[in-house]
Amino acid sequence: MSQDKIYQRLLSAIRAAYSAHPALPAFTPLPDNLPRQPLDPEHRPCSTELQTETGLQSSGFAELQEQIIASAPFMKWRQIYGNDQQNKFMDRLGCYAIIGEGGPFASDEMRLFIIYMPPNLYYPWHIHPAEELYMVISGHAVFKREGCPDESLTEGQSMFHESNQPHAMETSDTPMLSLVAWRNHLNTPPVLVDID
């Protein structure tokens, strides 16, 4: 199958998920027109880990999960925080863009990513000016937000992060796969912050 066909199948599965889960379009609508942009795939070990992951089963997002994994070899896996020693969690944290910079589809209105966390991974406190919505596709994780109680989220549940609200995530014995949407202030990358 051509690379372009793989991206189009992924986008079709995204559109279906947006139709089925109102929290997604309520956060930011999916543009009707999403032009293709050039993408040079970049591999990271988390791509292989996702493709061999056995702990993710999704009932409501089965097609989307399948297309996310099928797309993994053709995506630009992101090194979000730079490659220094205190960022060892980035060796295992999986992220690629679908819409926006670094992804196969262009938009100035929103960005859309996937985040894959294998079991027993702590994604430390971080902030970014973009508002953010997580929609869990499969597995589960504990979501931490400054000023709020921790919440354990599973498939079909979503979490909103306000602009510059510190947040963190942690998996235990199961992995987690999520869609992550951004709106507003799309061009400022996340930074880690000291909270605990």
Binding site for Fe ion (CB under 5 A): 132
Q: How far is the CB of 78 from Fe ion (least distance, A)?
A: 13
Angle at 195 between CA 159 and CA 193, to 5 degrees: 80
By beta-carbon proximity to Fe ion, the closer residue of 124 and 139 is 124
The count of residues in the chain is: 196
**Measured from the CB atom, is 132 or 155 closer to Fe ion?**
132
Nearer Cβ to Fe ion, position 51 or 163?
163
Q: How far apart are CA 102 and CA 113, in angstroms?
A: 10
Joined together, the tokens standing for residue 107 give 């938009």
CB of 132 to Fe ion, least distance (A): 5
Q: What backbone phi and psi angles, to 5 degrees, belong to 10?
A: -65, -45
Residue 6 or 110 with smaller CB distance to Fe ion: 110
Minimum distance of Fe ion from residue 6's CB (angstroms) = 26
DSSP 59-118: STTHHHHHHHHHHGGGSBB--TT-S-GGGGGGGT-EEEEEESTTSSB--SSEEEEEEEE-
Min dist CB 176 to Fe ion, Å, is 14
